[in-house]
Structure 1
Amino acid sequence: MPTLTINGQARQADVEPDTPLLFVLRDTLGLTGTKYGCGIGQCGACTVLLDGQAARSCQVPIESVGTQAVTTIEAIEQDPVGRKVVEAWVGIEVPQCGYCQSGQVMAATSLLKRTPRPSDDDIAGAMTNLCRCGTYNAVAAAVRQAAA
């Protein structure tokens, strides 16, 4: 049974080694803020941070997580960058339906952790999560605000 570090806590999951991290988070550990979208790593609704880097959790087998720290939307405000991102998201009122927003916030946090002052091209390159409501302009504005 692998022991994972999730949101700063050691957690165990009695699952098969090839089980996607997404299903461990949602179904085994009850952390439902990470959403299931497409299941093929394209939409980004399932984005979490692995050692600070955005990862599509539907494509990460639990056996490959190893000692990497997993951060989910439930704990993103414990990170100073994540807190700034959430504040910008709320201030600009980015979400419409909200389904993709946890993944968007995680991707934005990862971007700002590695590129604190991103250009518009950096934002466009990193913010590849899909949004059925089309909040892309508001997402980019929130990233710029969080970086300011």
Structure 2
Amino acid sequence: MEKIYVVFFLLLIMSACDTNDDCAATDPPPQSIHISILDTEGNSLIGENNIYKPTEITLDRGNQNIPLRFYDYDGKTFIELYYYDMESEKDYNLMLNQQETDILKLKINIYNTDCFTELKSVEKFLLNGEEIQRDNETYSYIIQK
């Protein structure tokens, strides 16, 4: 009878090791979204020689500054927004330049997986109270100006 318990215990440990190995080889999903600002013709409005300069664009709520990263892809400049520290359904000031500030509000879903806890995903993207759907072609939220 003791041998059965020992075998059961070893099988339990081995199955736990397999799960841990799978988790060790898995990265958590990115906690960021991508945003583009385009004119009515689809031209990017972000760039050092454009209307919205990356050095002037900020996102904050009171004393909390949310880091933004900018990158170019396919002739457009995108904002990568890491929303992990953002509070769900709170107003954030998206300052585009000295004259223009929009209100950004994200509805953030918190969930768990077998390998990770408290992961976040964006359920809703609101700009100035209007919901913007993610573009399936660019996987970004497009702000039309």
Identify the TM-score tier after normalising by the shorter chain: under 0.3
The two structures have a TM-score, normalised by structure 1, of: 0.26
Higher helix share: 1
The two structures have a TM-score, normalised by structure 2, of: 0.26
Higher strand share: 2
Larger Rg: 2
